[in-house]
Amino acid sequence: MKGLYRPLYNLLTAGETVTSLEHTIHNLRRKNVYAIADYIKEYSKTNEEIRANDKEYKKLAHIQDLNYIALKPSSFNFNSEYIYPLVYYLVRHKKKILIDAENAEHQEKIQTITNECIQRFNTHTISIYKTYQMYRRDSFATLQQDMRIFPRLGVKLVRGAYWNQDKLTGALFLKKSDTAFRDAMILALANSQHHTMVCTHNTKDIHFLIDSRVAKQHIVHASLYGFLPELTNTIVRANIETYKYLPYGKMEDAFPYLFRRVLENPYILRYYFI
């Protein structure tokens, strides 16, 4: 199994260790691209696994040239007693936290955890980013409400990564064209007191962002490592702050991530088979 997935793993991740992650971060910085560290382990339940995850995340607090860290609540079994102290530790080390939304089953718990972190840690500056999955029917209304409620909101704007898993729940739009992603972009552009990371591989959305984002420093772009090799350079040349999600960790922990990426973006296989 490892031999089969190794080329795809190498293409879409920053390797298995913090050392390989740091190497990739430095390579990106030479291209004027910034990094988001994304420890790939998901759905940990035992205390031993959770403690190991906590230790791994805390290593990220000490990496230079790294401002953003993605945090998966499932890595801590959605337990706030583990998550809040970790977030405090990372924020104290000047890191910004992007809290993943994950799948539909756990949305209520993730919303509660994320909103509490925003209230605790976005008091003087924006340190916490909430993920808005625009393939969800309720996301645009939630974004509008949160922009009214929170004085300082970090927005991670995505279409969503769990459509194939959650499409039968009734919570999602069944057509990509029905999502409110473009409306959310327009809303974000108009609200400069908040900071938005637009996470998309859609060419039309990217060009809309380039054309719309004149002197709007509160909007940045992010994409997955291994995606958009040519368009990334276009975004950088447009003077838009540009980020890459850098998943890293043991290859056996990466299978769920790799499956989602291929299901959502099958065109990536053209790089795999070259």
Q: How do residues 148-201 score in pLDDT, each as one tens digit?
A: 999 999 999 998 766 667 667 777 888 777 889 999 999 999 999 999 999 999
Please give the full DSSP string across 221-274, using - where no structure is assigned: EEEETTS-HHHHHHHHHTT--EEEEEEES-GGGSHHHHHHHHHH-GGGHHHH--
State both tokens at 84: 């809040």
Residue 143 pLDDT exceeds 50: yes
Cα pseudo-dihedral 23, 27, 30, 31, rounded to 10: -150
DSSP state of 136: B
Residues 228 and 263: their CA atoms lie apart, in Å, by 17
pLDDT at residue 270, as a whole number: 56
DSSP state of 74: G
Cα pseudo-dihedral 223, 165, 99, 64, rounded to 10: -40
Residue 147 pLDDT exceeds 50: yes
Average model confidence (pLDDT) for the chain? 89
Least confident of 66-80, 169-183, 232-246: 169-183
Q: State pTM to two decimals.
A: 0.92
Residues 76 and 240: their CA atoms lie apart, in Å, by 34
Q: Which of 167 and 80 is assigned the larger pLDDT? A: 80
**Is 16 buried (19+), middle (13-18) or exposed (0-12) by CB count in 10 A?**
middle
Q: How many independent structural domains does the chain possess?
A: 1
Percent of the chain clearing pLDDT 90 (strictly above)? 69
Residue 75 pLDDT exceeds 70: yes
| Single-letter amino acid, residue 254 | A
pLDDT tens for each residue of 27-65 = 999 999 999 999 999 899 899 999 999 999 999 999 989
pLDDT at residue 87, as a whole number: 98
Q: Are the C-beta atoms of residues 118 and 131 closer than 8 Å to each other?
A: no
Least confident of 88-97, 109-118, 210-219: 210-219
How confident is residue 217, by pLDDT bands cut at 50, 70 and 90? confident
Which range, 10-19, 87-96, 134-143, 220-229, has the best average confidence (pLDDT)? 87-96
Nearest to 25 by CA among 242, 199, 246, 222: 246
Residues 42 and 50: their CA atoms lie apart, in Å, by 10
pLDDT at residue 167, as a whole number: 66
pLDDT at residue 274, as a whole number: 44
Mean pLDDT, residues 267-273: 53
Percent of the chain clearing pLDDT 70 (strictly above)? 89
> Where residue 263 sits, what CATH number does that domain have?
3.20.20.220
**Which range marks the domain in which residue 125 is found?**
2-272
How confident is residue 93, by pLDDT bands cut at 50, 70 and 90? very high
